[in-house]
Amino acid sequence: MRLDTLDHVRADVDSTASFEQVIDFFARIDEQGRFLHISTPGLAFIGYHREYLPHITLRDLVPPEDAPLLDACLRQAVQTAEVQKCTLHLVKTLTYPRLVELRISPDAAVPGQLMVVGHDVSAWADNEQCLTYAMHHDVLTGLDNLASARHEIERAKREALAKGGRVALLQVDIDEFYRVNQAFGYEVGDRILHETALRLKNACQGRDFVARCYSDAFLILLRDVPDRNYVEAFARRVSDAIQRPYSHDGQTLQLSVRIGAAIFPDPVNDTDQLLNHVDEALALAGRNRGYSFAFYERRPAGSRPDTLRLESDLHSGIRNGEFSLYYQPIVDARSGRVAGIEALMRWHHPVLGAVSPEIFISLAESAGLINFLGGWALKNTCMQLMQWDARGIHLQYATVNVSAQQFRDKRFPAIVREAFKLTGLAPRRIILEITESVLMEDPDHAKELLEELTDLGVRFAVDDFGTGYSSLAYLQSFPLAALKIDRRFISDLPVSRNDQAIVAAIVGLARTLGLSLVAEGVETEEQKNLLLSSGCDLIQGWLVCKALPINELTRKFEAGELLPLEC
């Protein structure tokens, strides 16, 4: 139990008995820190017998390095007559330090006495430490991740500028690694990636920094680089390490590798540009069987067509934060209040501007990056709901689209679980959207996966409903929560009897199966009214609000332009 104030604590010990029982540590002390009273749970917490209390003070329970902090807190409490807070360690039974948040307040009813309330925050600190580690490390390999790599690159650049030295950044890319996953399965692929990480660390000999940025791509940062020959020799050593055969069930596998490199200082490059240069160097390395290496070479302005190497731009776009999530409200058509939101991915290319999702989603699938992007979208959506909760904006749910390739990935359930573990969001607040064609590609697998994640609490919706199988038989066989009527049946709804009949049939189907129903692409009042009369209450579209970036949508909520639907 955390307390923000001690105002309700009374001087009389009897009146605080129930209060004391729910606090990890409650005590009364004099201004010298001697114990006058301690609660039974507090005594158990510090691990002493009550007979021993006259022989110790509060300072004796604090390790020497934390003693100045406690002294300052006690002094401030006496001088200001206000509640003072500090977080330090209490040494349980002289052996086990526990991180505790102390609130120290003078007792207005008894001059010279102080009240001390302590809350054990060690578990919270451990969780925060684990979360911080997870945010900066790759779970599979234990290497640093891209976020950590950015910090390391910035630090190495500052050191190089201060000493007049140079650093080199290399990107190591395993060619067509997806074929390993296809041939042997993801478990074998993961083992090979883990072994590759070990080989890279050995090649760096503990002197250089190595990170896994995504999928089968790694970054290596070299400090104190004398010249290009040094970098190229190191790249050859890395390539040799990766091209040594891997073993699996008596079979040997051999991988091909591409390496691109860029050197800092450069006349114009910052960290983002340095990463972009490594991408372009990787593209120059080509796809020769075995080993390909290239340095970044500056080209005259305007010599590179906008759409050339869009796949390479996709890689750098992920690293440079060019991808973002927009959110479109899903509202109750009768009240106008927001029930949930749909997360929609956007790519703002620094040269081409907004790239259509139809282009970059298929590109991400062919490049093997869709699983990374999909996992990122799910985690960020979970975190966004939690952040809105903290600001008093409570939405019932968010929907996140799942591609066919994600759905087929054996690691998908683990990615979903990780998102909830990292963010603490209740799984029932996420609805995963899948298409009819995904369900019917492998119905047995689809049913098994849906049942597994439904047991976790996640819900599923069929997106673009009505454009595929639309069969009552298949709907009954899957644990679904919602249907989304495709926008093509909405645009001509006021004038098309066929569309009106289809919408009415979908509404009836949803009612029969007890499914929620959302109409997409609603742009006019007439469309909305027809949907309401048909029995579809939830709508999504420009009539209410277009998809907006987080800051804009948050402002609308806080300004009262959009109001959450009461739970």
DSSP per-residue string spanning 366-391: HTT-HHHHHHHHHHHHHHHHHHHHHT
Question: 453 is written with which tokens?
Answer: 């994640």
Same domain assignment for residues 348 and 492: yes
Give the residue from 56, 18, 23 showing the smallest Cα distance to 41.
Answer: 23
- State whether 107 and 138 are in the same domain: no
Average pLDDT over every residue of 57-75: 90
Same domain, 60 and 89: yes
**CATH code of the domain in which 497 resides:** 3.20.20.450
Interval 166-215: pLDDT, tens: 899 999 988 778 778 777 888 888 889 999 999 998 888 877 899 998 77
Total count of domains within the chain: 3
379 domain-assigned:
yes
Backbone angles phi, psi at 353, to 5 degrees: 80, -145
Residue 400 domain flag: yes
Percent of the chain with pLDDT over 90: 32
pLDDT on residue 268: 53
Listed in sequence order, the residues at least 6 apart from 47 whose beta carbon sits closer than 8 Å to its beta carbon are 92, 93, 96
CATH number of the domain that residue 28 is part of? 3.30.450.20
Nearest to 58 by CA among 12, 8, 118: 118
The pLDDT value given to residue 130: 58
Helix (H) or strand (E) holding 99: strand 96-106
Instruction: Classify residue 251: in a domain, yes or no.
Output: yes
* DSSP label at residue 396: S
Residues 137 and 109 in one domain: no
**For residues 290 and 236, is the Cβ–Cβ distance under 8 A?**
no
Which 8-state DSSP code applies to residue 566?
A: P
Residue 374 in this model has a pLDDT that exceeds 90: yes
Please tell me whether residues 285 and 416 are part of one structural domain: no
Nearest to 384 by CA among 326, 437, 434: 326
pLDDT exceeds cutoff 70 at 465: yes
* Confidence category of residue 128, pLDDT binned at 50, 70, 90: low
* Tokens encoding 246: 């891997």
Asked if 521 and 449 sit in the same domain, the reply is yes
Of the candidates 178, 163, 233, 218, the one whose C-alpha atom is nearest the C-alpha of residue 366 is 178
Q: Is residue 3 part of a domain?
A: no
State the distance between the two ends of the chain, measured CA to CA, in whole angstroms.
26
Amino acid at 292: S
The answer to whether residue 200 is domain-embedded is: yes
Give 160's strand partners. none
The closest alpha carbon to 534, from 515, 513, 514, 510, belongs to 510
CB 104 within 8 A of CB 73: yes
pTM of the model: 0.53
The answer to whether residues 99 and 153 belong to one domain is: no
Residues 308, 413 within the same domain: no
Does residue 301 surpass a pLDDT of 50?
no
Note the pLDDT of residue 4: 40
Give SS3 for 41: helix
In a domain, 222, yes or no: yes
For residue 301, being part of any structural domain is answered with yes
Among 315, 350, 374, the domain boundary falls at: 315
Per DSSP, 310 falls in state H
Judgement on whether residues 83 and 171 belong to the same structural domain of the protein: no
Consecutive H or E run containing 172: strand 167-174
| Overall average pLDDT of the 119-124 stretch | 78
Structure confidence at residue 302 (pLDDT): 43
Q: Maximum CA pair distance of the chain?
A: 89
Instruction: Give the residue numbers spanning the domain of 298.
Output: 129-315
Lowest mean pLDDT among 60-69, 165-174, 354-363: 354-363
In a domain, 515, yes or no: yes
Instruction: Write down the residue that tokens 């940062």 correspond to.
Output: 221
User: Please, what is the average pLDDT of the chain?
Assistant: 83
Q: Can you give the CATH number for the domain in which 167 is found?
A: 3.30.70.270
How many Cβ atoms from other residues are within 10 Å of residue 416's Cβ? 26
Q: Are residues 116 and 135 in the same domain?
A: no
Do residues 72 and 211 share a domain?
no
- Report d(CA 429, CA 379) in Å as an integer: 13
Decide if pLDDT at 346 tops 70.
Answer: yes
Residue 391 backbone dihedrals phi, psi, to 5 degrees: -95, 10
Question: What's the CA gap between 143 and 220, in Å, rounded?
Answer: 11
The answer on pLDDT for 299 being more than 70 is no
Residue 87 above 50 pLDDT? yes
344 and 304 together in one domain: no
Q: Of residues 408 and 16, which shows the higher confidence score?
A: 408
Task: Classify residue 404 as exposed, middle or buried by CB count within 10 Å of its CB (0-12, 13-18, 19+).
Answer: middle
Rg (CA), the chain: 30
pLDDT surpassing 70 at residue 278: yes
Band (pLDDT 50/70/90 cuts) for residue 305 is very low
Res 256: pLDDT: 82
Boundary of a domain, candidates 315, 330, 363: 315
Examine the fold and report which residue of 315, 342, 364 is the final residue of a domain before the chain moves on: 315
CA nearest 146: which of 216, 215, 214, 206? 214
